[in-house]
């Protein structure tokens, strides 16, 4: 596992090299941190595979592996339904955010018109307003309009984000005007320019924004817990919270629920990790 000293010293790239620490110590530290990250996940999965009689007795590994807990969880709750709800709302939010945020960013970056800087300023200044302050007015709006327990009710606050407009504005500014003018001469409509010329050019930023939005919508808890009242409309985090609260001392069931809720996301992350991490870095650097 631990490579020889030579290789570390030969590493040309990092200039703040930690050669003072011996490479063995360095690797021991980073692997230990890795272990600290991994253990809760492993512990969660292992607990979910243990029969009830074992969760307080066997220390780490289950003596008898059982999938009984998974059966019980699916029989006593609506995890399948919560998955579908989360998937629908996260996809809706992601689609509308990437479309409208980039459209707004494009219009604000590539056109000159009256009130342009005012619109940009107002949109960006809404970033300062914490969503927590808007919960109560949103809730009243949802109640008055019958949006409680609907997908639209869950999604409408994240229909667009000021951060996304800001990000797309930054990237759209980098598109040369000549390219758009060339498109105009070729007879593209203004929307065609946005759709066929501008969007493909900002694809990396767009996918970063999509990943960010999907993740935050998928993991959102505070607003969905307020706007959904019937268990049929809960999203995965809300359902998991209520389910766990109900079975609080049945830890093998709670951990099964947590495993069901997280493992597919972890698999998706492992497959897409390069894109996700590159996207996050890109977003962070631009802002």
Partner 1 sequence: MPSGNRGVDFLHRRFSLRFGLNARKVFWAYVFLLVPCLFFFFFRILPTLSALRISLHDWDILSPSKPFVGLANYRRLLNDPIFWKALKNTFLYMFVVVPAELVGGLSIAIMLQSVRRFAGFLRSLYFLPFVTSAVAISWVWRWMYVPHYGTLNMILSFLGFTEQPFLQSPSQALYSIAAVVIWQSLGFHIIMFLAGLQAIPTVFYEAAMIDGANRWQVFRSITLPLLNPTIVFLAVMGSIASLKIFTQVMNMTFEGTGGPLHSTITLVLYIYQMAFTRFQMGYASAVTVILFMIIIVITVIQMRLITRRFEY
Nearer to partner 1, 66 or 192 (CB): 192
Nearer to partner 1, 140 or 182 (CB): 140
CA distance 204 to 102: 12
Q: How far is the CB of 122 from partner 1 (least distance, A)?
A: 7
Q: How far is the CB of 256 from partner 1 (least distance, A)?
A: 11
List the interface residues with partner 1, window 2-61 (CB under 8 A). Answer: 3, 7-8, 11, 13-20, 26-27, 29-31, 33-34, 36-41, 43-44, 47, 55-56, 59
Q: How many residues bind partner 1 (CB under 8 A)?
A: 103
Site string for partner 1, 178-217 (x = CB under 8 A): ------x-----xx--x--------------------x--
- Applying CB under 8 A, among 24, 61, 65, 140 the residue interacting with partner 1 is 140
- Applying CB under 8 A, among 91, 204, 241, 275 the residue interacting with partner 1 is 241
CA distance 283 to 206: 10
User: In sequence order, what DSSP letters do the residues of 95-144 get, joined into one string?
Assistant: HHHHHHHHHHHHHHHH---TTHHHHHHHHHHGGGS-HHHHHHHHHHHHHH
List the interface residues with partner 1, window 69-128 (CB under 8 A). Answer: 100-101, 103-104, 106-108, 111-114, 116, 119, 122-123, 126, 128
Taking the CA atoms of 195, 211, 160 and 172 in sequence, report the sign of the dihedral they define: negative
List the interface residues with partner 1, window 244-283 (CB under 8 A). Answer: 244-245, 251, 254-255, 257-258, 261-262, 265-266, 269-270, 273, 276-277, 280-281
Q: How far is the CB of 84 from partner 1 (least distance, A)?
A: 16
Cβ neighbours of 58 (radius 10 Å) = 15
CA distance 228 to 224: 6
Which two tokens mark 54?
A: 């074992």
Q: How far is the CB of 80 from partner 1 (least distance, A)?
A: 17
Q: How far is the CB of 203 from partner 1 (least distance, A)?
A: 19
CA distance 242 to 246: 6
Of 68, 52, 98, nearest to 251 (Cα)? 52
Residue with tokens 């008898």: 64
Nearer to partner 1, 67 or 221 (CB): 221
Q: Rounded to the nearest 10 degrees, how much is the dihedral formed by the CA atoms of 220, 225, 226, 232?
A: 120
Look up residue 187 and give its DSSP letter.
Answer: T
List the interface residues with partner 1, window 143-182 (CB under 8 A). Answer: 143, 156-157, 159-160, 162, 165
């Amino acid at each position: 596992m631990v490579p020889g000293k030579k290789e570390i010293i030969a590493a040309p790239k990092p200039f703040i090299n930690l050669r003072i620490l011996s490479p063995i110590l360095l690797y021991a530290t980073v692997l230990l941190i890795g272990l600290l990250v991994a253990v809760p996940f492993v512990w969660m999965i292992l607990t979910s595979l243990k029969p009830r009689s074992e969760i307080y007795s066997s220390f780490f590994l289950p003596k008898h592996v059982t999938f009984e807990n998974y059966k019980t969880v699916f029989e006593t709750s609506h995890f399948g339904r919560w998955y579908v709800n989360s998937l629908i709302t996260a996809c809706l939010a992601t689609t509308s955010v990437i479309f409208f945020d980039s459209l707004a960013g494009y219009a604000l970056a590539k056109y000159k018109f009256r009130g342009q800087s005012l619109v940009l300023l107002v949109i960006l200044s809404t970033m300062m307003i914490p969503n927590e302050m808007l919960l109560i007015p949103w809730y009243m709006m949802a109640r008055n309009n019958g949006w409680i327990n609907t997908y639209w009710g869950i999604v409408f606050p994240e229909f667009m984000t000021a951060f996304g407009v800001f990000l797309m504005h930054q990237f759209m500014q980098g598109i040369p005007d000549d390219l758009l003018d060339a498109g105009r001469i070729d007879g593209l409509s203004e929307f065609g320019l946005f759709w066929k010329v501008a969007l493909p050019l900002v694809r990396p930023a767009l996918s970063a924004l999509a990943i960010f939005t999907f993740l935050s919508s998928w993991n959102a808890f505070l607003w969905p817990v307020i706007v959904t009242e019937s268990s049929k409309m809960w999203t995965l985090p809300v359902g998991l919270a209520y389910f766990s609260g109900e079975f609080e001392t049945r830890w093998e069931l709670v951990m099964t629920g947590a495993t069901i809720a997280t493992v597919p996301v972890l698999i998706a992350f492992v497959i897409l990790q390069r894109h996700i991490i590159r996207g996050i870095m890109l977003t962070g650097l631009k802002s």
